Structure 1
Amino acid sequence: MERRGLDADGYIEREGSLGRIQPAFAELVAAARGRLVEAYGSRLHSAYLYGSVPRGTARHGVSDLDLLIALHREPADEDRDTAEVLGRGLDQDFPAIDGVGILLYGKERLLSEGERYDLGWFLACLCTPLLGADLAEHLPRYRPDGLLARETNGDLAVLLPRWRARFEAASEPAEFRRMNRFFSRHLVRTAFTLVMPEWGGWTSDLTESAEVFGRYHPERAAQLREAAAVALAPVGDPAVARRYLDDLGPWLAAEYTARHGTKAPRPEA
Structure 2
Amino acid sequence: MPDHDPSRDGEGGARGDSGTERDLERGKGLDSDGFIAREGSLGRVGAPFAPLVDDARQRVADTYGPRLHSVYLYGSVPRGTARPGRSDLDLLIALHPEGPIPGHDSTVPAEPSDADRAAAHALGAALDASYDVIDGAGILLYTAGRLLSGRERFDLGWFVACLCTPLDGEDLAARLPRYRPDSLLARETNGSLELRLPRWRRQNAAAGDPAERARLSRAYARHLVRTAFTLVMPRWGGWTSDLERSAEIFARYYPQRGDQLRAAAAVARVPVTDPAVLQEYADDLGPWLAAEYTRLHGRKSWPES
TM-score (norm 1): 0.96
Among 20, 23, 36, the alignment partner of 1:12 is 36
Q: Which amino acid aligns with 1:44?
A: L
1:50 aligns with 2:74: yes
C-alpha deviation, 1:60, in angstroms: 1.8
Q: Which amino acid aligns with 1:43?
A: R
C-alpha deviation, 1:188, in angstroms: 0.3
C-alpha deviation, 1:267, in angstroms: 6.6
Q: More displaced, 48-57 or 94-103?
A: 94-103
What is the DSSP-based 3-state SS (H/G/I as helix, E as strand, rest coil) of the residue aligned with 2:277?
helix
Among 186, 193, 198, the alignment partner of 1:149 is 186
Structure 1 segment 30-179 matched on structure 2, within 5 A: 30-73=54-97, 74-179=111-216
**Distance in 1 (alpha carbons) for counterparts of 2:274 and 2:63:** 36
1:205 aligns with 2:242: yes
- Gap change, CA 1:173 and 1:129, over 3 Å in 2: same
- Which stretches in structure 2 are left out of the alignment for 5+ residues? 1-24, 98-110
What is the DSSP-based 3-state SS (H/G/I as helix, E as strand, rest coil) of the residue aligned with 1:228?
helix
**Distance in 1 (alpha carbons) for counterparts of 2:264 and 2:236:** 20
What is the DSSP-based 3-state SS (H/G/I as helix, E as strand, rest coil) of the residue aligned with 1:5?
coil
TM-score (norm 2): 0.85
**Distance in 1 (alpha carbons) for counterparts of 2:304 and 2:266:** 33
Aligned length: 268
**Distance in 1 (alpha carbons) for counterparts of 2:199 and 2:117:** 20
Aligned sequence identity (%)? 66
C-alpha deviation, 1:62, in angstroms: 1.7
Q: Residue 22 of structure 1 corresponds to which residue in structure 2?
A: 46
Q: Deviating runs (4+, > 3 A) in structure 1?
A: none
Q: Residue 255 of structure 2 corresponds to which residue in structure 1?
A: 218
Q: More displaced, 202-211 or 60-69?
A: 60-69
C-alpha deviation, 1:95, in angstroms: 1.9
**Distance in 2 (alpha carbons) for counterparts of 1:171 and 1:27:** 38
C-alpha deviation, 1:7, in angstroms: 0.7
C-alpha deviation, 1:64, in angstroms: 1.3
**Distance in 2 (alpha carbons) for counterparts of 1:170 and 1:7:** 44
What is the DSSP-based 3-state SS (H/G/I as helix, E as strand, rest coil) of the residue aligned with 1:210?
helix
What is the DSSP-based 3-state SS (H/G/I as helix, E as strand, rest coil) of the residue aligned with 2:70?
strand
- Gap change, CA 1:236 and 1:89, over 3 Å in 2: farther
Q: Which amino acid aligns with 1:26?
A: A
Structure 1 segment 221-232 matched on structure 2, within 5 A: 221-232=258-269
C-alpha deviation, 1:167, in angstroms: 2.2
Q: Which amino acid aligns with 1:81?
A: A
C-alpha deviation, 1:246, in angstroms: 1.6
- CA-atom RMSD, angstroms? 1.3
What is the DSSP-based 3-state SS (H/G/I as helix, E as strand, rest coil) of the residue aligned with 1:46?
strand
**Distance in 1 (alpha carbons) for counterparts of 2:178 and 2:40:** 16
C-alpha deviation, 1:243, in angstroms: 1.4
